[in-house]
A and B are shown apart, each in its own frame.
Chain A
Amino acid sequence: MFYDALIGPFAEFEFMRRALAGVVALAFGAGPVGVLLMLRRMSLMGDAMAHAILPGAALGFMVAGFNLFAMTLGGFIAGIVVAVLAGLVARTTQLREDASLAAFFIVSLALGVTLVSVRGTNVDLMHFLFGNVLALDNATLMLVAAITTISLLVFAVIWRPLVMECVDPAFLRTVSRAGGPVHMAFLALVVLNLVAGFQALGTLLSVGLMMLPAVAMRFWARDIAGMVGGAIAIAVASGLAGLLLSFHANLPAGPAIILVAGAFCLGSILLGRVGGYASRLIPRTHLEG
């Protein structure tokens, strides 16, 4: 019975295996990005950039239909442009970065929806917004895997300066000029991972797989490595459970995955060892020294 419920669906259906593979690949890329976004207090920026991708992908769609290359390239360019523009506006006018981003991403979202509706149908629009994790073809899976690989490689290289930039940016500035480029590389990785998640989970949900596991881990881990590992694990678990829910309880797949991630998040806020409500309400006796 255990087999039927948990393993059966994946053993029997290829589309389930593909969906899981896609989400697992996404988890490995999104995990570190999400943790860093959260620690750098850029969580909302991640959300904004996810929406900013939409008009670029929509333009790619208008030009070439559901062509993976066109949509990915369009989305990537749009994401980078918005990130750079928002930063520029924040630095050169009196508008702070959060307001500048809010303005940009709302406009991007509206623009993207308009573009898709002009050329595509309602179903197309829903896929742009919520993704199509059950219909991942080979090209999409390869794209996601490639992006995750690139992401992990780049992280391996820039990890230390990235962490330094979060903890003590002044120090980094005095010992190296890598701060600026590292920041840009990080932004590019954020956009890249969002573009990867876009095909599977759409613009409204892809950032969920990035942020929700990271937020959950805030309440369990005290060091950044633990956070990253835990975030990846939670993302994978959310994918697994979400797909099973979609299978057994007939829920739409993408939202189901994100809801499970949300449940992990909520559970962590309540029960997490590091600052969760339960740990505060139910104190344990202090140690000897």
Chain B
Amino acid sequence: MRNEARLGAVCRAMLLALACVLSLAPAAAAQEKIKVVATFSILADLVRNVGGDRVDVISLVGPNGDAHVYTPTPADARLVGAARLVVVNGLGFEGWISRLVTVSNSKAAVMVASRNVKARRDGGGHGHGHDDDPHAWQSVPNVMTYVANIRDALTAADPAGKAVYEANAAAYRDKLAALDAEIRAAVAQIPPERRRVITSHDSFGYFADTYGVAFVAPRGVSTEAQASARDVARIITQVKQQNIPAVFLENITDQRMMQRIAEETGARIGGGLISDALTDGAGVAPTYVDLMRHNVKQLAAALAK
């Protein structure tokens, strides 16, 4: 009789211990988030959407930052060194990342988000100095590919979270599909002959290809500091001849020159288009979806009859 009672107590104790261990395990796993470093804010947003609570994402180039001219700091090297996964855009966008990874001696996996994305050739006059246009995120279908790539990379780095990543990615894909439909509907509202704009930063090529709005970049006026009269005359002629209805300003460029051109051609001056980075929390485009919505809204407003 006494032996049975002792065995029962031991069994209960063991069950209790097992229960404790089992309950602790997921807690332990939950405390350890996967450290991911994304090169810039748009990628960081995508990673957050796919990774959810399982990841701790840092963006090297912060909101409103310019990844083209970014120079990494020692703090960045530390971050990369501590990361499990580094997400880069690729297509020559971040010329500085490979060196940073080498310097930081990181054991992280480096993943190129734009893998399998059909790259378009850069139109020239952009100043990047390479052949592929890196701004693939301007087309929502491309971003769907990005998301799939990110999901796969996260799963590879953290197999335990596979179900979570797949679920998040699928949910986000739905959001993106809805966004894509939204954009197409908005563009459809614009009369076909009015679907072209001038903007100084040549980063909307993918948007143009996917959604059918032409982005004409004025050559020499924006990133170049000193315009010549011929450059300005050329743009004005172009706007007049091609009946381009709107001109878009951007922080990088010379606003007064844009205003002059708009006034002389009768084109509308549109609100700023955002191309390369999210805004901070207080701005109009804190997430990727917000960014695309903002741009489409501006375009639609400027190009409406």
A→B interface (CB under 8 Å) = 9, 12-16, 18-19, 66, 121-123, 126-127, 130, 132, 134-137, 243, 246-256
Per the bound structure, the CA–CA distance linking A130 and B227 in Å amounts to 11
Per the bound structure, the CA–CA distance linking A28 and B42 in Å amounts to 53
Inter-chain pairs besides A15-B229, A16-B233, A248-B230, 11 sampled, C-beta below 8 Å: A9-B233, A15-B233, A16-B229, A122-B225, A127-B254, A130-B225, A243-B229, A247-B228, A250-B231, A252-B228, A253-B226
A19 near B256 with CB under 8 A, answer: no
The segment from B96-104, B142-150, B257-265, B277-285 that touches chain A is: B257-265
A121 near B228 with CB under 8 A, answer: no
B228 near A253 with CB under 8 A, answer: yes
Q: List the 10 shortest-distance A-B pairs measured between CB atoms, nearest first.
A: A252-B226, A126-B225, A246-B229, A247-B229, A135-B256, A135-B257, A250-B230, A14-B264, A250-B228, A135-B260
B228 near A246 with CB under 8 A, answer: yes
Tell whether B236 is near chain A: CB-to-CB under 8 Å: yes
Tell whether B252 is near chain A: CB-to-CB under 8 Å: yes
B232 near A134 with CB under 8 A, answer: yes
Per the bound structure, the CA–CA distance linking A13 and B228 in Å amounts to 13
Per the bound structure, the CA–CA distance linking A14 and B239 in Å amounts to 14
Out of A66, A122, A243, A252, which one reaches B256, CB within 8 Å?
Answer: A66
Tell whether B71 is near chain A: CB-to-CB under 8 Å: no
B229 near A253 with CB under 8 A, answer: yes
- In the complex, 17 of the A-B residue pairs with CB atoms within 8 angstroms, ordered by the A residue number, are A9-B233, A12-B233, A13-B264, A15-B232, A15-B261, A16-B233, A121-B252, A123-B252, A126-B226, A130-B225, A132-B257, A137-B256, A247-B229, A252-B226, A253-B227, A255-B226, A256-B228
For residue B202, give the distance in angstroms from its CB to the closest CB of chain A.
Answer: 16
Per the bound structure, the CA–CA distance linking A254 and B232 in Å amounts to 14
Out of B226, B253, B260, which one reaches A254, CB within 8 Å?
Answer: B226
Out of A12, A15, A19, A130, which one reaches B226, CB within 8 Å?
Answer: A130
Residue interface mask B237-266, A partner, CB < 8 A = 1 = 000000000000001111111011101100
A134 near B252 with CB under 8 A, answer: no
Per the bound structure, the CA–CA distance linking A255 and B228 in Å amounts to 10
A135 near B259 with CB under 8 A, answer: yes
Chain B residue total in the interface (Cβ 8 A) = 23
Per the bound structure, the CA–CA distance linking A280 and B39 in Å amounts to 69
For residue A258, give the distance in angstroms from its CB to the closest CB of chain B.
Answer: 12
**Cβ of B256: which chain A residues have Cβ within 8 Å of it?**
66, 132, 135, 137
For residue B224, give the distance in angstroms from its CB to the closest CB of chain A.
Answer: 8
Per the bound structure, the CA–CA distance linking A22 and B68 in Å amounts to 37
For residue A36, give the distance in angstroms from its CB to the closest CB of chain B.
Answer: 31
| Chain B contacts with A in 202-241, Cβ cutoff 8 A | 223, 225-233, 236
For residue B96, give the distance in angstroms from its CB to the closest CB of chain A.
Answer: 19
Per the bound structure, the CA–CA distance linking A130 and B260 in Å amounts to 18
B230 near A66 with CB under 8 A, answer: no
Per the bound structure, the CA–CA distance linking A157 and B44 in Å amounts to 68
Out of B230, B232, B251, B263, which one reaches A121, CB within 8 Å?
Answer: B251
**Cβ of B260: which chain A residues have Cβ within 8 Å of it?**
15, 18, 134-137
Per the bound structure, the CA–CA distance linking A88 and B229 in Å amounts to 43
**Cβ of A15: which chain B residues have Cβ within 8 Å of it?**
229, 232-233, 236, 260-261, 264
**Cβ of A132: which chain B residues have Cβ within 8 Å of it?**
254, 256-257
Indicate whether A134 sits within 8 Å of B257 (C-beta atoms), given known contacts A121-B251, A123-B225, A126-B225: yes
For residue B272, give the distance in angstroms from its CB to the closest CB of chain A.
Answer: 14
Indicate whether A135 sits within 8 Å of B254 (C-beta atoms), given known contacts A15-B232, A15-B264, A250-B231: yes
Measured CB to CB, the nearest residue on chain A to B257 is A135
**Cβ of B229: which chain A residues have Cβ within 8 Å of it?**
9, 13, 15-16, 19, 134, 243, 246-247, 253
B254 near A246 with CB under 8 A, answer: no
**Cβ of B261: which chain A residues have Cβ within 8 Å of it?**
15
Per the bound structure, the CA–CA distance linking A130 and B225 in Å amounts to 9
For residue B250, give the distance in angstroms from its CB to the closest CB of chain A.
Answer: 11
**Cβ of A246: which chain B residues have Cβ within 8 Å of it?**
228-230
